[in-house]
Amino acid sequence: MPQAESPTHSGQSTPTGIRTPSTITDANVSDFGDFDHSDSHWPLNEDSTPATRCLDQINNLLGELSASDRFEVARNLIRSFRNENSRARPCLGSTKHTGHVGPITRFEMPTVTQDLFDRPTIAVALSGFANPTTQDLMLRAITDNETSTSFELSLHSSRNSKLENISVDWIEIPSRHSGWQSGQWPLESQLDYPVPFELNKMISFATPFPEVPKVVVFLSGIDIDRTKTIRFRIEASNITTTGFNLTGGTLLDTLLHSFKATWVAYDSTIKGVHSGRVNTMDLRSWAEPQHVNMGYVTFPAGTFSKPPNVMIGLNHLGLGPYEQNVRCCVSNVNHLGMCWNADTWGKTVNYSLGFSYLAIEEEEEN
């Protein structure tokens, strides 16, 4: 399975907590599923409890590891036990694949949480891509085979796609955290939708929130005709304790075939979290296209005590026809705010770009 490229070493964390794919394996370390549980492996104590028998098995497994590997296992166990007894905060991750994509490219991604007692919900968003050919802009990011320590990220495109430089952000929401919910809504593929296309879809939460929550909407898939100017947006509106309206659509002659939206909703009373949207039209008009667009977001006073981790995802595309090269990012993040860029390059005409962001401060590890 191919691995997405990253500026850090495989399996390491970046300064902002971003995890990178890992291909490191050790054939000498036994798996719990492969362990021999027969009586001949060790004598069973009839007076032992299930807990002590489990500890005996763990001790046998740890004995096969190096000192550094035993320390890593112990650290993850301690963190998992602590998370099991607390409302663990969601974690954020990001990756970039610089090679060509299509029709399906899969990666095994390590989770950020590495919580042995929980399988988090993964919600993904697209934050950049390069479509330098005559193919329609067709891309979807999909997750599958989630476990407590990894998940499969699939990038879907057309058979002859030349898409590259795909950037994907994600959030890992612990299953026991009642203050967070997420989901996705796909507009099914068809030859073309009405021009222009207007979107207004009611999304219901699985469980009502005690107060009106915050909702962040990201683009996680798009299939749109590249011969026409692309004018597309999505957002959340009419938010209540039970749901919200997913609104947006296209303008003028833009031909939309399908798209997929990812949404994340969270309790508005949760501390250390802030979300919002940015757009190049906050800086300039549609009629003044330019490649490089940079702004600054100020976080509400007192929200963060240290630099938060930040997830971003596109929510607005205003691009010229034939070539679409997009790169969105944040930088210089601290507890007061962050810089943001919504850039293009090559022959791309950047009329306007926008993205949603979700900033989360990490909980202190004891």
Instruction: For the chain, give every domain's residue range.
Output: 91-360
Mean pLDDT of the chain: 83
pLDDT at residue 78 greater than cutoff 70: no
Entry pTM: 0.78
pLDDT at residue 9 greater than cutoff 90: no
Peptide bond into 21 cis (omega under 30): no
The Cβ of residue 331 has, within 10 Å, a number of other Cβ atoms equal to: 10
Confidence of residue 29 (pLDDT cuts 50, 70, 90): very low
pLDDT digits (tens, 9 = 90+) for 112-131: 877 666 788 999 999 999 99
Average pLDDT over residues 206-220: 97
Q: Which amino acid is at 351?
A: Y
pLDDT, position 13: 38
pLDDT digits (tens, 9 = 90+) for 225-251: 888 899 999 999 999 999 999 999 999
pLDDT, position 289: 97
Of the chain, the percentage scoring pLDDT greater than 90 comes to 57
Higher pLDDT, 272 or 59: 272
pLDDT, position 73: 73
Give ∠ CA 365-304-13 in degrees, rounded to 5. Answer: 45
pLDDT digits (tens, 9 = 90+) for 337-349: 999 999 999 999 9
Q: Which of 40-44, 83-87, 148-152, 313-317 has the lowest mean pLDDT?
A: 40-44
**Residue 321 is inside which H or E element, if any?**
none
List the 309-319 sheet strands across, edge first: 198-204, 243-250, 230-237, 309-319, 350-360, 273-279
How many CA within 13 A on the CB side of residue 248? 20
Coil vs helix vs strand at 179: coil
Q: Which of 64-68, 81-85, 357-361 has the lowest mean pLDDT?
A: 81-85
Residue whose entry in the numeric block shows the structure tokens 């090679």? 99
Peptide bond into 196 cis (omega under 30): yes
Using alpha carbons, list the distances in angstroms from residue 247 to 91, 185, 223, 233, 351.
Answer: 27, 12, 18, 8, 21
Rounded to 5, what percent of the chain is helix, strand, coil?
10, 45, 45
Confidence of residue 192 (pLDDT cuts 50, 70, 90): low
